[in-house]
Structure 1
Amino acid sequence: PRNLCANRIHTSARLNVLLPPHVWLFIKPIQKLLAIILGRSVRKWWKALPANKRQLFKENLQQNRWKLSLASLGLGFLIILFYFTSLEETPVTGRARLLVFRKEHYDLLTTLAYENMIEEFKDEILPEKDERYQQVQKIVQHLIACNSDLPEVAKIEWTLHVVDKPIVNAYVLPNGQIFVFTGILKSVADIDQLAFILCHEMAHAILDHTAEKASVSHLLDFLFMISLVMIWAICPLDSLAMFGQWIQSKLREYVLERPFSRTLETEADKVGIELAAKACIDVRASSVFWKQMMVVSDLGDEPRIPEWLSTHPSHER
């Protein structure tokens, strides 16, 4: 495989966000409510205006259309400036991405998530002397040792937790806390498949995908808040406004969020395969595993949806 460290990664200067992520999480539902209230208030105010005042208001808008246009252009310029000054290169791949929040901003949220998981699975977490734990630990240590030349791997303190639950899943928190459920140990055909899954999940942490997703969501929240105000201001009835809001949410989900999620998953696949290859893992196991997942999906009760509607790439690789 190619040397992942062959190219130096140049990143933009780190900027401090106005508010930490946990504050934005608290504000997020409130800002949507405020947008609805503001838009609805504008609509009620407009309906209550006498006809002559409505006409006067329209004339004032017409007279000041250039000022309004300049104000709109100014707002658009600020948004574009914010976007481009928040771009930096993704570690390892060099992909340009929006990054308002960074891993260090998520320390509190990650710690809380970790503590909640430890509390939730405290009775199911396997001890280190358990054979299943030792089996997974050997793989994790091997992957880390073979990729320790990557600064993104070396700077994370990786810690393994094997949970004795029949859940077919494994994930890695941004701070390197690895959770593997015994259900997935029974689902993989060999060590190579398990190693690839771990590489994929570790790649998400290495690439700071959690911070990137939060950054994109933060920008989309602001942009869609403006359109939400307009929807509730323009629609004559609350029912129509609610329908318009539903359409807006679906457009955001299927046109922006799901394709973006597939991009991150594909990137994690590519980097995961490179991490596995450096550890002399048979990378062909990845395609075999995804084909197995496709068969499981086909045999399941859930309908198969097109890739462009999914949050993950197709298993047909």
Structure 2
Amino acid sequence: MTEEMINRSFHTSPSLLAAPVPLFWIIVKPAQKLFAIILGRSIRKWWKALPPNKRELFKESARKNKWKILLGVSSLGVVFVMFYFTHLEETPITGRARLLVFGKEHFRELSQMEYDMWMEQFKDQMLPETDARYQVVERVVGHLSESNKDIPQVAALQWVIHVVDEPGVNAFVLPNGQVFVFTGLLDAVSDIHQLSFILGHEIAHAVLEHAAEKASLVHFLDFLSLIFLTMIWAICPRDSLAVVGQWIQSKLQEYMFDRPYSRTLEAEADKVGLQFAAKACVDVRASSVFWQQMELAETIQGQPKLPEWLSTHPSHENRA
């Protein structure tokens, strides 16, 4: 999605029993981490409180049963591997294998809740359908969807247009097909071709179900990280060291998995979005011009040029 994407948040359900499955896990995630910390800390305190002779007995017992312990750990690893491979699905259009834990229906419910939140936030900033800027976006989205209606995932979504009077250079499409475009983006693009490829990119995110995919991966990695979090708090001799270890673990996950995966999804949306635009007879060369303009604007503004591996998006240079 565009670089200046504002952080999204989710409504909490008025009743926990009514919460969709993804939302339930989002709510309990902090509790899971707290439980892992308490468990690890309790193990450390228990070990420190053991008399030396009992520690030696415990170590000796572990040495005698090392193969049983290894078998148990290996079995747990096999369970995780089986879970991963049994939840792989093929990405629409590109055919890339991806992990999908949450059901599509559950995620549609969550998307509707997010949509309601955005509508509440922007209710006083929505442009009317009679506004020329709204009509431009409506025509572009309509042309893109009509030109790609042979793709089942495009035809299945009901595209709903919202143009928000906001200066931010931003646009996003929710998984249910609700399109939000900020007037700042309309001011930033040079022509209809640039707008078309950007909206093609955002539509691609929805069609490729990237939101559900990313949530699934985060959930899977977070569950695995609970094991390491427990180990960190159990092994580190002091709480201060455990906090540092936890921070290092979170950063390793972020820069080794989360951000590279985000860049992969963005690159895939770029590719598919350009395909959508090309089928709509859009001049796809406009995409290169746009990213060059973005890079030039950041240079003029004196913004530091960060290495791509630090970003959630591919660099402007690589997208051009």
Q: How does 1:160-309 map to 2 (within 5 A)?
A: 160-309=161-310
Which residue of structure 1 aligns with residue 132 of structure 2? 131
- Structure 2, unaligned stretches of length 5 or more? 1-19
Contact kept, 8 Å, 1:102 with 1:208, in 2: the verdict is: no
Which residue of structure 1 aligns with residue 50 of structure 2? 49
- Percentage identity across aligned positions? 63
What secondary structure does 1:224 align onto? helix
Which residue of structure 2 aligns with residue 40 of structure 1? 41
What secondary structure does 2:176 align onto? coil
Q: How much has 1:276 moved relative to structure 2?
A: 0.1
Question: 1: CA distance between counterparts of 2:31 and 2:175?
Answer: 27
Q: C-alpha deviations, 1:20-64, integer Å up to 9, x for none?
A: 101111111111111100000000000011101111111111111
Q: Which amino acid aligns with 2:230?
A: V
Q: How much has 1:107 moved relative to structure 2?
A: 2.2
Q: C-alpha deviations, 1:154-205, integer Å up to 9, x for none?
A: 0011100001111110000000000001010000000000001100000000
Question: 1: CA distance between counterparts of 2:202 and 2:129?
Answer: 21
What secondary structure does 1:69 align onto? helix
Q: Which amino acid aligns with 1:182?
A: T
Question: 1: CA distance between counterparts of 2:117 and 2:89?
Answer: 32
Contact kept, 8 Å, 1:127 with 1:133, in 2: the verdict is: yes
Q: Which amino acid aligns with 1:288?
A: V
Question: 2: CA distance between counterparts of 1:29 and 1:300?
Answer: 38
Question: 1: CA distance between counterparts of 2:300 and 2:61?
Answer: 64
Which residue of structure 2 aligns with residue 314 of structure 1? 315
What secondary structure does 1:179 align onto? strand
Which residue of structure 1 aligns with residue 73 of structure 2? 72
What secondary structure does 2:149 align onto? coil
| TM-score, normalization by structure 2 | 0.92
Question: 2: CA distance between counterparts of 1:292 and 1:264?
Answer: 22
Q: How much has 1:287 moved relative to structure 2?
A: 0.8
Contact kept, 8 Å, 1:142 with 1:279, in 2: the verdict is: yes
Q: C-alpha deviations, 1:122-179, integer Å up to 9, x for none?
A: 1110111111111111111111110001001000111000011111100000000000
Which residue of structure 2 aligns with residue 4 of structure 1? none
Question: 2: CA distance between counterparts of 1:300 and 1:34?
Answer: 45
Q: How much has 1:301 moved relative to structure 2?
A: 4.7
Q: CA RMSD in A?
A: 1.0
Which residue of structure 2 aligns with residue 7 of structure 1? none
Which residue of structure 2 aligns with residue 113 of structure 1? 114
Which residue of structure 2 aligns with residue 8 of structure 1? none
Contact kept, 8 Å, 1:126 with 1:161, in 2: the verdict is: yes
Question: 2: CA distance between counterparts of 1:174 and 1:153?
Answer: 11
Question: 2: CA distance between counterparts of 1:188 and 1:103?
Answer: 34
Question: 2: CA distance between counterparts of 1:289 and 1:104?
Answer: 36
Q: C-alpha deviations, 1:46-97, integer Å up to 9, x for none?
A: 0011101111111111111111000011001010000111111100000111
| TM-score, normalization by structure 1 | 0.93
Q: How much has 1:259 moved relative to structure 2?
A: 0.5
1:26 aligns with 2:27: yes
